[in-house]
Structure 1
């Protein structure tokens, strides 16, 4: 993952392993303690076909009562967005949803 998202949204995007890592953390500016982790793996088969696999994991503080529905729906919604928007637009949409002014 390139660091353009980190540069564009420094208060939301964290790249613990740098731009060559296999995950990023998104922190909510509105809900302290809420973190989303996007994890990716890239598979290449014998014929050279490349298949990216992305998953969304979440950390939600117990004090966020309304997060229960979000917690159960987030991974499914993320995968649906991936199919509709593509990888980059899906991640951008998720980041924007966590920003105060977006």
Structure 2
């Protein structure tokens, strides 16, 4: 686990990455932390819970693929609209929907 950057800077990094996740794709909280090289799933979850309402929050999910408790109906509607692959009614199919963090032409 990498060192957590200054709080405001970390929030901006997390939210900026979430905004880049393409429609129909997802990252886990741990994926976001790993991509940023800082924090961990809990830190990402805290950012999302406190300040993630303005970004496509449904694209950041738990490691087991389950939808955010209490927000399943809104998430399910977003997944249907975006064509996100699901496993049953309450899980995203991570094998098919996981995004590695690169867009065409991006370098990391």
Higher helix residue share: 2
Q: Using CA pairs under 8 Å that are at least 6 residues apart, name the structure with larger relative contact order, 1 or 2.
A: 2
Structure with bigger gyration radius: 1
Structure with the larger strand share: 1
Q: TM-score if structure 2 supplies the norm length?
A: 0.29
What TM-score, normalized by structure 1, do the two folds share? 0.30
